[in-house]
Structure 1
Amino acid sequence: MKSQDVRSKFLSFFKEKKHSIVPSAPMVLKDDPTLMFVNSGMAPFKEYFLGNGQPKNSRISDSQKCLRVSGKHNDLEEVGYDTYHHTLFEMLGNWSFGDYFKKEAIAWAWELLTEVYGIDKEILYVTVFEGSDDADSLPMDTEAYDFWKQYIAEDRILKGNKKDNFWEMGEQGPCGPCSEIHVDIRSAEEKAKVSGKDLVNQDHPQVVEIWNLVFMQYNRKANGSLENLPDKHIDTGMGFERLCMVLQGVQSNYDTDVFTPLIREIETIAKKKYGEQEEADVAIRVIADHVRAVAFSIADGQLPSNTGAGYVIRRILRRAVRYGFTFLDKKEAFIYRLVDILSKKMGKAFPELKAQKQLIENVIKEEEQSFLRTLDQGLVLLNRIVEETKNDIVSGEKAFELYDTYGFPIDLTALILSEKGLKLDEKGFDDELQKQKNRSRAASEMSTDDWTILFDDKEEEFVGYDTLEAHVKLTRYRKIVSKKEGEMYQLVFNITPFYPEGGGQVGDKGYLEDTHGDVIYILDTKKENNVIIHFTKNLPKHIEETFKAVVDSKQRYRTECNHTATHLLHQALREVLGIHVEQKGSAVHSKYLRFDFSHFSKLTVEELRDVENFVNARIEGKLPLIEKRNIPKEEAIAEGAMSLFGEKYGDTVRAIRFGQSIELCGGTHVKNTADIWHFKIVSEGAVAAGIRRIEAITNDAVKDFYFENNRTYFEMKDLLNNTKEPVKALQNLQEENANLKKQIETLLKDKAKNIKSELKSELQDINGIQFLAKKLDLDAAGIKDVAFELGSQFDNLFLIFGAEQNGKALLSCYISKALVASKELNAGQVVRELGKYIQGGGGGQPFFATAGGKNPAGIDEALVKAKDYLV
């Protein structure tokens, strides 16, 4: 059965069981601070399990893209070495929110597997929760056990411990016992030797879990205790790739048609045959897996970067590049070439791959080329470390610096060192890595109390589109403590005028005032699992009273100007550059806006001017806001509204129109474009391959911009004696300056020639080496000229020159190449060691190197110490 049929049969089956079939949510989560990526099928529905929202249908089914590469669920290091772990995988799932429970979930799972897919009942095992005698004191799940007895022999129903058969969302939140379904695909001979029941949950590659049925019936509180949920839910997840392995009769996920087209393409590119050499096979599996994760992430709007989720994606891609570099001997970019195969294979189920194909290829290619350059630089640095190593063990601290600062993979360092007959101090490296992790963990450490519920209000309402003030009631609150922010409180109200951070727009600030005149300040507003949360430093004194909630109107207004300007800017870019332009991210603050978009070249001065003029024409056109709330998404799209890849939209949406600009947007906007006053681009540049970024300002910030430029202009004119042609006067000054520089360079060269003849007479013969250590009144270029001219006359020269320039210290070392070879002297090593006297450092080639420092007073001592290298 082809993988596409496997997926469609699953969804069709649950559609017949009255489930609503929904598309996969984007993998990158926008309003859940506990997760970086969707790592399980339930993550997009978390708000329903928490009771913060109501789904349109109480029965849902989907195939969800998941990524497990960070946090508790991290499969990265296993990927490629076994047959069934992946970074990106599809999770087939069916969900019940307070509807059916264990009986139906178990019956339908068995029906689908054995009747629809036709899996032999004799190769299946199931597990149930055996109970626990710890603080939770949970009973065995006899209910699930009794249901399973109706379908499968009791000796195939295994009792599992809390680790395997009690599923928890995290340290807090909904949880419950679960039943796993395992399949034994070993040969008959292997089954005769060892029973499958003895291999369940033992990490056997052919006895694997394919489906987990979670029975959500408890809530884990902050103090660790459990309480019953008001409604019971079903949360199931079946590994699509593993299911394909079973149904296609192969022994590895990588042998299914999910991966074989990618593997065949890698074989062709790398000129390697899959299945002949284990190291190459691992590399091919790693690359086939990782390109999927990276491509889907970019399609969902997450580009590789140096922080957060972007860093994780960059790390995955670099792991793939490194395996190709090391084990497939691929020294040029090639992984981007796999995107075409991937989009053809999966583009029907996930159309974002086809729509974003060109962008994905460009981003991956640039990332590959960048990291390959890093590897080249790392090899040079590693060779230098090897040269400086006095014994056969390379310092873990230096290896960590190579890894942390330059991104050079530690396993590649270990491999190269072993080829050179050296060892890596692995413990030293692990210690440095752990120190870094501890620092990172300490910086982000946070504790969260349980919510204190004052009264249950199911419908928290945002009224901030229509008013900046409202009388509100506090429905719940909790305390959070973080290393970064200290002690804070999170407040939730029955209604709120405060806009929560989202869609690139920052959250509102403002204040609460009670009837006694007491005021507390709202420092930020965010949305978490569909709940609007207000951050304060203090808890209100009279928590059960009605409060007057007031949004900072000046900040909101400026932010609205910038948000509306992003819509107009998007329209302008598509008009000026072409309809290939799509928004790839934005940041809307009160002081500025940032807009990322797809485009493959730097904007010309003329294009930037045209974009500015386009936006300002719409501002001058005084276009009114036309807003449609809670309309069907299909209706909004039919009217021309633009939706963004990577955004999660509900069945109903809000459409914002200014003239011909129509977008789906939940943010706040000005009532008329005239309110923006003016739009000014302040910068344009590249973010990644095919992604450009514009930063711009509006309203008061533009007024400040022009005022500052005007002030600078008059100051410049004043310095130029109020000339009527300041530009021409500056050009004259530049020409004059250039001529003077040439004269100075000529004088310095003449000075250097005179100094050279003096220095020759000062050379000392030390053990057959012509040595000189001296402080000179020359710049770096002059010192280098002198050193090389002297070097051309001697083949046994060792020079150390010091100089002071602009309050900084400079050391230069020249060693004849003959001495470098015969005496094992190294100028780079010399200046690095002497650099400590001038509180600096440097490097260079073995025959010439320089060091800079901030302590000119140390030059004399460094020159004295230089002689120690020869005696």
Structure 2
Amino acid sequence: MRNSLLTSSSVATPRLSLMFRSLPRIFRPSPPFQRATASPHFSHHSRQRMAAPSENVPKWTANSVREEFINYFKDRGHTFVPSSSVVPLSDPTLLFTNAGMNQYKSIFLGVVDPQSDFAQLKRAVNSQKCIRAGGKHNDLDDVGKDNYHHTFFEMLGNWSFGDYFKEEAVGFSWELLTKVFSLDPSRLYVTYFEGDKSGGLEPDLETKELWRKAGVPEDHILPGNMKDNFWEMGDQGPCGPCSEIHFDRIGGRNAAHLVNQDDPNVIEVWNNVFIQYNREADRSLRSLPNKHVDTGMGFERLVSVLQAKSSNYDTDVFTPLFKKIQDITGAREYQGRFGAEDTDGIDTAYRVVADHVRTLTFAISDGAYPNNEGRGYVIRRVLRRGARYARKYFNVEIGNFFSKIVPTLVDQMGDMFPEIRKKQDEVMENLDEEELSFSKTLDRGEKQFEAYAQQARSKGLDKLHGADVWRLYDTFGFPVDLTQIMAEERGLRIDNSEFEEAKLKAKEASKGKKQAAEDTVKLDVHDIGKLEKMNDVPKTDDSAKFDSSNISSVVKAIYHGKTFVRTTSDLPQGDQIGIILDKTNFYAEQGGQENDTGRLIIDGQAEMEVGDVQSYGGYVLHTGFMKYGSFRVGDSITSEYDELRRWPIRNNHTGTHILNFALREVLGDGIDQKGSLVAAEKLRFDFSHKAAIAEKDLDEIEKKSTEYIRQNCTVYSKEVPLPTAREISGVRAVFGETYPDPVRVVSVGVEVEEILKNVKDPKWSQVSIEFCGGTHVTKTGEIRDLVILEESGIAKGIRRIIAVTGEAAHQAQREAADFENRLEKLRTMDRGPAKELELKQVQIELNQLTASAVQKSKFRDLVARINKQVLDDQKAQQKLELKKALDKIKSYFEDAENQDRFTLVTTLPETTNPKVLSEAINFIKSKMTEKTVYLFAPDLGQGKVAHGCHVSKASLIEVGVSASDWARVVSGSVGGKAGGKAPTAIGSGNNVDKVEEAVNLATEYLQKFHL
């Protein structure tokens, strides 16, 4: 399968791999499956003329291919399931729907809602809309360069959920391809799973025999190993052997040796996956109670085979779009040239624009609007990339270009996907708006790019600096991949890491500016210059910040407003001031750790409350307010930081190091720190990771952190020469951070001196070792526990964890335990209003609960189950109460004494649900139309009464009874209002004690009409 674009339910193995890489780890494929993701690259030179698939075969249009596939399976008992949206709103693990099986995941995983339509689904067929753009495996960069990459594609598939299995799947595939589509059987090759002795898996000889019985020659039936022919949903979950069908575009030869060998003319066209096992947590396999079939065939590729084209872009999937582009632009006709042969770039532009308009139309139709975040940013990138190609190679004005192509696409695909026809105007408006916005900066941006490119060439560089790339994005809206295309055109490259570094620096600088604007006391460059000229004001010695005791210091400078003064005695009361000492034990904010607070004291004479501590070029400024007395330059004072505040900060800082270590242990070495905050209340850690962390992994991270803490390891620190420190195996540092030389190394559990004996010893990677200038605990036991409160995404590829340690962690655990007990009591409560009321309160409090994110997730699941139980109980109770109500009504009229009566005014038995009254009225309206009835349903507990009436046609026309007038009489007694469409009226009142009076009034109303 190394050259295949197809795998189970996916046009391309890379596409399905992308889906799984965007899922939590529990769903990720095993390494053997991931290796089977290479795709063929069709060069222009390899585009040989192919023999027709078969003589006397009518030309298959794209629409007829799709229609025939769907109808074939519908005729064989499959339910047509319309394509799900390309925006997977119910699956946050996916940026876009990128495989046919996405919407059936709940069935395969056994978590399908038993009340949903899918729970009864046995056989299904569809053509799924898929988008593959964004992320690590991103086809966007390749679109236009070859003849098969697309950001939008269709996925043909048929499924069996516990119904038919291998025999039928093989038979369907072979019959459809050879009998219906009339492909030459001699050009088809099939594979089967050869088994895996190490995994205890036998060869899938059953499938081999089924292919043989279908008529496939022995030398066209080929074995495949785990990486080629065993499909897994992830590290755990449903899995099974698969069987591929490959097609030889050339024919007239035996191409068995070219199957799965990256030959562009021997391609996979279909894959059948036989899901029959479940991969357990211990990697063992267990047979599933139900066996499933999950297949996938690339629509665009199938069309190219049936139309005898070696390029997807040569088929009528794309040719109508090419024709429209040519009409709009006046460009030459599309000639199918690639690479160096496409000398004017026109053919590449055709492919890019046609592909991109498909993606844009389907994405916007399904609700993915262009913006600066997530999938919206991907869509914006696609549009701007296409717009720039259009202007450069087609020489058209940007502003309403793409929208002119949309109607052609809608004509092509609107019957199959009616949503694009319904949203056509909205799509066109969005495209015009985005294009127009980009056009305003495109000229200026290109000019600035040229200036950056010229600067790079003049310096003999072969790349643009990342800071320049960032400025093109930040100022002119050029996505990085667009700048990369422009750079490649000039023989330049860009450094993505430099770009990310510049981006982060800019954002941090922005934050710093906001913070600085809020500060009333701060030093600027002029102030620092003045200090440097003061011979008696040395740089502050802050080495005592790692100690735990108070120290004696000398006031060296006093800052107020924009001047340095000698004393605070003359300053207005309440003014903020800044103090510089010769030495300090206060921690100035740095490295993500918040500053200390505390006091500067001259016992009995003066005290200053310190609220902020910042370092300016080595001068540590303590800012705050004088509580009493005054300071003078030269005074000897006591520096006293707030130990109660620093304590949790120390816990959280060491906890951050341990969390960083646990993240890499669980998620791998690709985790890089992107930022942090160490505060007294919490710790916040930002890191690089592509997807949300699975609950299982989050639980493991928390457990590993706690295990490390419970070992009560000593925390060591030592200043080490920077070059030596960088060589330490497994040392953690923030990428792009500038570190001093020597740098302080903090090790949790191993003495730094021991590490320095052999810095490259690989065992140090099993220890938390970081460059850090912060404060830490002496032993990890002081931290006690670490609880992860939240895990979320803050930017593309950047995740954030918020956690607490120490007492805050214990408090979170106590709250969780109390809440769990409360949920258990709620679960076992008898059904009724009290349980419903408690459930509502619990749902509110759950959102505000401070507890482990994993526990909260479990609580939400339990609350959801309880809520379902309550709703089921309500439905059952409502059904019972309705039965009692109807029994009372029917028994009254069926009674011998009342057979001639046509009216009834009564109170319903034992109901507190106003819906019962409405249902009873509806029953009378539809089943007892000749009856005139007024019903009351008092709820003593809630202090409300529901009431309603139905007036028969005879009573209305012949007698003149009005439902609205009747209800108005009753409402006058029980309160509230009533209304509705004749001949019924429904109301609700608050005077539940007036029900008997209302019954009498309703009866008296009828008596006026002699009823």
Give aligned pairs, total. Answer: 502
Distance 2:325 2:311 in 1: 18
Q: Please say if residues 220 and 227 of structure 1, whose CA atoms lie closer than 8 Å, have aligned partners that are also in contact.
A: yes
Q: Which residue of 2 aligns with 1:20?
A: 79
Q: Does 1:308 align with 2:639?
A: no
Residue aligning to 2:559: none
Q: Are residue 95 (structure 1) and residue 165 (structure 2) matched? A: no
Partner of 2:125: 61
1:345 aligns with 2:662: no
1:40 to partner: Cα distance: 1.0
Which whole-Å CA distance do the structure 2 matches of 1:158 and 1:385 have between them?
55
User: Which residue of structure 2 aligns with residue 610 of structure 1?
Assistant: none
Distance 2:428 2:362 in 1: 12
Q: Does 1:401 align with 2:718?
A: no
How big is each residue's C-alpha offset from its partner over 1:519-561, in whole Å with a ceiling of 9 and x where there is no partner? 9845599xxxxxxx99744978xx999998799xxxxxxxxxx
Distance 1:9 1:402, change over 3 A: same
Q: Any idea what the Cα deviations from partners look like across 1:219-241, whole Å, max 9, x if unmatched?
A: 34456554332211111111111
Aligned equivalents of 1:47, 1:495: Cα separation in 2? 28
Are positions 1:441 and 2:688 aligned together? yes
Structure 1 residue runs without a partner (length 5+): 453-477, 498-507, 513-518, 526-532, 552-622, 629-673, 676-871
**Taking structure 1 as reference, are residues 368 and 481 closer, same or farther at Cα in structure 2, changes over 3 Å only?**
closer
Q: Which residue of 435, 443, 454 corresponds with 1:368?
A: 435
Judged with a 3 Å threshold, the aligned counterparts in structure 2 of structure 1 residues 252 and 383 are, in CA distance, closer, same or farther, namely closer
1:284 and 1:187, CA in 2 relative to 1: closer, same or farther beyond 3 A? farther
In structure 2, the CA distance between the partners of 1:121 and 1:547, relative to structure 1 (3 Å rule), is closer
- Which of 470, 480, 484 is the equivalent residue of 2:801? 484
TM-score by length of 2: 0.44
For residues 486 and 332 of structure 1, do their structure 2 counterparts lie closer, same or farther at Cα, with a shift above 3 Å needed? same
- Kindly state the Cα deviation for residue 330 of structure 1 after the two structures are TM-superposed: 3.4
Could you give the per-residue CA deviations for residues 208-227 of structure 1, whole angstroms, max 9, x where no partner exists?
Answer: 22211111122344565543
Contact 1:520 1:536 in 2 (8 A): no
Measured at CA, do residues 338 and 199 of structure 1 come closer, stay the same or move farther in structure 2, by a change above 3 Å? Answer: farther
Distance 1:217 1:386, change over 3 A: same
- Aligned match of 1:139: 202
Instruction: Answer yes or no: is the 8 Å Cα contact 1:396–1:427 preserved in 2.
Output: no
Contact 2:318–2:354 (8 Å) recurs in 1: yes
- Match among 293, 299, 314 for residue 234 of structure 1: 293
Q: Tell me the equivalent position of 2:187.
A: 123
1:251-290 mapped onto 2 (5 Å cutoff): 251-270=310-329, 271-275=331-335, 278=342, 279-290=345-356
Query: What is the percent sequence identity of the aligned residues?
Result: 41
Name the larger-Rg structure.
2
CA contact (8 A) 2:81 2:125 kept: yes
Query: What's the CA shift string for 1:163-191, capped at 9, x where partnerless?
Result: 33222334443222211111111265xx5
Partners of 1:286 and 1:627 in 2: CA distance? 59
Q: What does residue 444 of structure 2 align with?
A: 377
Structure 1 pair 137–67 and aligned structure 2 pair: CA distance change class (3 A): farther
Q: What's the offset of the Cα at 1:403?
A: 5.5
Distance of 1:450 and 1:158 partners within structure 2: 39
Cα deviation code 1:678-718 (max 9, x no counterpart): xxxxxxxxxxxxxxxxxxxxxxxxxxxxxxxxxxxxxxxxx
Structure 2: how far apart are the matches of 1:249 and 1:368?
A: 37
The answer (yes or no) to whether the contact 1:24–1:63 under 8 Å persists in 2 is yes
1:45 maps to 104
Query: Which residue type is aligned with residue 34 of structure 1?
Result: T
2:842 alignment partner in structure 1:
511
Classify 1:48/1:274 alpha carbon distance in 2 versus 1 (closer, same or farther; 3 Å): same
Report the residue type matching 1:292 in the other structure. Answer: R
Does structure 2 retain, via aligned residues, the 8 Å contact 1:521–1:536?
no
Aligned residue type for 2:158: N
What residue in structure 1 maps to residue 992 of structure 2?
none
CA distance in 2 between counterparts of 1:242 and 1:274 reads 19
Alpha-carbon deviation of 1:105?
Answer: 0.5
Is contact 1:447–1:480 with CA below 8 Å preserved after alignment? no
CA gap 1:218/1:371 in 2 versus in 1, 3 angstroms: farther
* Residues in 2 aligned to 1:132 and 1:376: alpha-carbon distance in whole angstroms: 59
**Is the alpha carbon distance of 1:16 and 1:496 closer, same or farther for their aligned partners in structure 2, counting shifts above 3 Å?**
farther
CA distance change for structure 1 residues 536 and 3 in 2, over 3 Å: closer, same or farther?
same
Compute the displacement of 1:142 (Å): 2.3
How do 1:729-808 residues align onto structure 2 when only pairs under 5 Å count? none
The aligned counterpart of 2:651 is none
1:329 to 395, 398, 401: 395
Does structure 2 conserve the Cα–Cα contact (< 8 Å) formed by 1:294 and 1:317?
yes
Amino acid at match of 1:159: P
| TM-score of the two chains, using structure 1 as the length reference | 0.51
Equivalent residues in 2 for 1:514-663 (5 A)? 521=846, 536-537=855-856
Partner Cα distance (2:396, 2:465) in 1: 28
Q: Are residues 86 and 486 of structure 1, via their aligned partners in 2, closer, same or farther at CA, if it must alter by over 3 Å?
A: farther
* Cα distance, 1:448–1:140 mapped onto 2, change above 3 Å: farther
Q: Which residue of 2 aligns with 1:602?
A: none
Provide the C-alpha distance between the structure 1 equivalents of 2:431 and 2:246, rounded to a whole number of angstroms. Answer: 37
User: Residues 239, 520 of structure 1: CA spacing in aligned structure 2 closer, same or farther, 3 A cutoff?
Assistant: same
Distance 2:789 2:271 in 1: 34
Query: In the TM superposition, what whole-angstrom CA distance separates every residue of 1:31-81 from its partner, at most 9, and x where no partner exists?
Result: 212222221111111111111225333111111111122457643333222
Higher strand share: 1
C-alpha distance after superposition, 1:635-665 (max 9, x if no partner): xxxxxxxxxxxxxxxxxxxxxxxxxxxxxxx
Structure-1 separation of matches of 2:862 and 2:377: 44
In the TM superposition, residue 434 of structure 1 has moved relative to its aligned partner by 12
The C-alpha deviation readout for 1:574-593, integer Å capped at 9, x for no partner, is: xxxxxxxxxxxxxxxxxxxx
Change (3 A) 1:60 1:382: same
Q: Distance in 2 between matches of 1:431 and 1:451?
A: 26
Cα deviation for residue 429 of structure 1 reads: 4.9
Whole-angstrom distance in 2 between the partners of 1:70 and 1:220: 29
3-state SS, counterpart of residue 174 of structure 2? helix
Alpha-carbon distance in 2 for matches of 1:495, 1:143: 52
Secondary structure at the residue paired with 1:369? helix
Once the 2 structures are TM-superposed, how far is the Cα of residue 247 of structure 1 from its aligned partner? 1.3
When residues 273 and 100 of structure 1 are mapped into structure 2, their CA distance, relative to the original with a 3 A threshold, is: same
Give the distance between the partners of 2:204 and 2:502, measured in 1 at CA: 42
Bigger shift: residues 276-285 or 296-305: 276-285
SS in 2 for 1:484: strand
SS in structure 2 of the partner of residue 312 of structure 1: helix
The one of 210, 219, 237 aligned to 1:173: 237
Q: Show the counterpart of 2:991.
A: none
Shift of 1:331: 4.2
Q: Distance in 2 between matches of 1:274 and 1:624?
A: 65
- 2:268 is the counterpart of 1:209: yes
Report whether the alignment pairs 1:149 with 2:212: yes
Q: Which amino acid in structure 2 is aligned with residue 233 of structure 1? A: H
SS of aligned partner of 1:364: helix
| Displacement of 1:267 | 2.1
Task: Pick closer, same or farther for the CA change 1:234–1:140 going to 2, 3 Å.
Answer: same
Contact 2:230 2:240 in 1 (8 A): yes
1:139-184 Cα offsets, whole Å, 9 max, x none, are: 3322222222222112212222333322233444322221111111
